[in-house]
Structure 1
């Protein structure tokens, strides 16, 4: 019989399709030394009892207590790591003012490695405590502190995809916080890519460099072209913002005479490993371009409520074949929890479908067929994020890595309202998705290693 590094015994939930959840009662999850799920064994399988007898009582066997359930680790596709220091600040001002008054001054402080270490350590710990096992990070323009973030992810056991931010346009960025020139921005980015790749050789769960133009308004055409060439040269992930707000979308159309999506594609930045945040103002033609190039959307529903001037048509984009996952957009989104963002994704979709202006007739008020379910939002937070990144994460399935969170619905003082056998498994899943807080997340595992316990 194959020897496994770990055997987890309990009931789990995972995404089967974007609209369907697999309920997996009383399964054995057999994890290899590489942190990959080698087998999932059901009670009716021939060797189920033999595996239980073999592993039960040993230190490689983990049986969940009553009221505990396993979910995949969450995949956060859009985190501004330095902005954790201003989470919950000034969300009542327009995006342009928020960036220039609060965000750019804050991010400029990350030249100080001591300050960067304090903030980044706290952020990675907070995300792990909220069940986020993989995060796609914007850092800052500073190569050294951006590398520090990757090193913290490596040491803390989180799978981190980290980008050194590029912003070089003197017309849209402050003198105290921009890349010195095109050549410096590109050279620093290339050195960052090489440094993270060297670090990755020592990291079980993986860390990855990401080519990261902040967005078109902050970058010159020359630097965008150079970043596209670097992404192709090193086959890296790419991230940026795309058509987030009226201001950002309109600025690109005025400057370049086309939508963000077409412009980014022209610079070589829409690729199979690209993730673009927000995308609220994508046209159907833009969405078709995303689907054709394999570019994914990071849907950030809490942040969008403050800064996007709109609700993205998630259901429509999914139907058009675009990969979509969830992003917290810390700190445009105040919460580091993808549970909170999944809930808001459902709420926002209902508001889009029903409409929000009571002065209009009901038939004219909303956009039909826009709502998504909590099952679909869960898919965005897990498997959708994994598909967006092209990594075997986000599912509890054979061949996927053991990235998991163990949720306890019976925590003393915070027990979820689950009463007896009348609660079917899907009902329990719904209550977990709507009601869980960090205190319910008792353990978090990444690539077969425990990285958080409460």
Structure 2
């Protein structure tokens, strides 16, 4: 029999497809030394009892207790790591004012490496405690602090994709917070890519550099062109904001005479390793371009409710072949929990379909066929996020990384409302998705290593 690094026994929920959840009752998950799932074995499999006999009673065997369930690690496709320090602040003002009054002054403080370390240690630990095993991060314009974020992800065991932000346009960025000039922005980005690549060689779960123009309004044409060339040269991931709000969408139309999607594509910034946040104002042509280039959308439903001026029709774009995952958008989104964002994704989709103006007839009030289910939102938070990043994560399945949460529905003081001994598994899954809080997440594993636990 093949020797495994660990064998887990328990009932798991994982996405079979964008619409369906697999409920794997009392399965064995056999994990290799590299942290990848080598076998998933059901109780009716001929090898099930043999594996149990070989591993039960050893330190390599991990059996879940009654009331505990396995979920894949969550994949957050849009986090502004420095903004953790202002989460929950000033969410009632317009995006442009919010950035200039609160966000840019805060991010400028990350020139101080001591302050940056304090915030980044906290945000990575907080996200792990909320079940986020992979995060796509915006850092700041500061190369040293951005590298520190990558180092903290590596040390804490989170799979981090980190971008040193580029903001080089003196006409659009404050004097106290921007890149010195375009040449420096590009040189710092290239050096950052090389430094994170070197760090990744000793990081089991992986850390990745990401080319990161903040958004088109903050960058010169020369910077956007240069960043597209760096992404191609090093085959990196790319992230930015795209058509987020009336203001941002209108600015790009005025500057280029086209939508963000086509402007970004012209600079070489769209492709199958690109993730664009928000995208609320995409039209049919933009969505077709995303599908054709393999560009993914990070849907940020909590943040969008505050700043995006609209509800993105994610069901419609997914049906056109656009890859979509979930993002928290700390701190435009106040919650570090992707469970909260999955819930809000369902709520927003229902409001889009039903409409919000009761003075209109019901058949004119909303956008038909817009709603998604909690099963679909779960996919966005897990397998969908992995597909957006082109990484083997987000599923409890063979040849995927063992990124997993152990959720306990019977935690003293936080027990879920369960009163049937034979609660249907799909009902259990839905209760977990709607009611779980950080205290229910007892263990978090990334690439086969335990990175968080609650006593």
Q: How high is the TM-score relative to the length of structure 2?
A: 0.99
Q: Determine whether 1:232 maps to 2:232.
A: yes
User: How far, CA to CA, are the matches of 1:363 and 1:31 in structure 2?
Assistant: 52
Which residue is equivalent to 1:320? Answer: 320
User: How far, CA to CA, are the matches of 1:429 and 1:180 in structure 2?
Assistant: 50
Which residue is equivalent to 1:57? Answer: 57
Per-residue deviation, 1:360? 1.2
Q: Deviations over 1:404-441 (max 9, x none)?
A: 00000000010001122341000000000000000000
User: How far, CA to CA, are the matches of 2:36 and 2:452 in structure 1?
Assistant: 18
Q: Determine whether 1:84 maps to 2:84.
A: yes
Q: Deviations over 1:131-185 (max 9, x none)?
A: 0000000000000000000000000000000000000111111000000111000
Which residue is equivalent to 1:116? Answer: 116
Q: Deviations over 1:306-350 (max 9, x none)?
A: 000000001001100000000000000000000000000000000
Which residue is equivalent to 2:254? Answer: 254
Q: Determine whether 1:97 maps to 2:97.
A: yes
Which residue is equivalent to 1:424? Answer: 424
Report the secondary structure of 1:173's partner residue: coil
Which residue is equivalent to 1:355? Answer: 355
User: How far, CA to CA, are the matches of 2:168 and 2:187 in structure 1?
Assistant: 13
User: How far, CA to CA, are the matches of 2:181 and 2:305 in structure 1?
Assistant: 34
Report the secondary structure of 2:421's partner residue: helix
Which residue is equivalent to 1:5? Answer: 5
User: How far, CA to CA, are the matches of 1:362 and 1:211 in structure 2?
Assistant: 45
Per-residue deviation, 1:123? 0.3
User: How far, CA to CA, are the matches of 1:96 and 1:256 in structure 2?
Assistant: 20
User: How far, CA to CA, are the matches of 2:260 and 2:424 in structure 1?
Assistant: 45
**What pairs with 1:46-445 in structure 2 (closer than 5 Å)?**
46-445=46-445
Report the secondary structure of 2:62's partner residue: strand
Report the secondary structure of 2:155's partner residue: helix
Q: Deviations over 1:362-420 (max 9, x none)?
A: 11110000000000000000000000000000000000000000000000010001122
Q: Deviations over 1:51-86 (max 9, x none)?
A: 111111111100000010000000000000000000
Per-residue deviation, 1:271? 1.1
Per-residue deviation, 1:47? 1.5
User: How far, CA to CA, are the matches of 1:388 and 1:47 in structure 2?
Assistant: 34
Q: Deviations over 1:108-133 (max 9, x none)?
A: 00000000000000000000000000
Q: How high is the TM-score relative to the length of structure 1?
A: 1.00
User: How far, CA to CA, are the matches of 2:196 and 2:413 in structure 1?
Assistant: 43
User: How far, CA to CA, are the matches of 1:144 and 1:442 in structure 2?
Assistant: 34
5+ residue gaps, structure 2, are: none
Which residue is equivalent to 1:27? Answer: 27
User: How far, CA to CA, are the matches of 1:17 and 1:41 in structure 2?
Assistant: 20
Report the secondary structure of 2:135's partner residue: strand
User: How far, CA to CA, are the matches of 2:172 and 2:163 in structure 1?
Assistant: 20
Per-residue deviation, 1:186? 0.2
Deviates further, 416-425 or 111-120: 416-425
Report the secondary structure of 2:328's partner residue: coil
Q: Deviations over 1:196-230 (max 9, x none)?
A: 00000000000000000000001001100000000
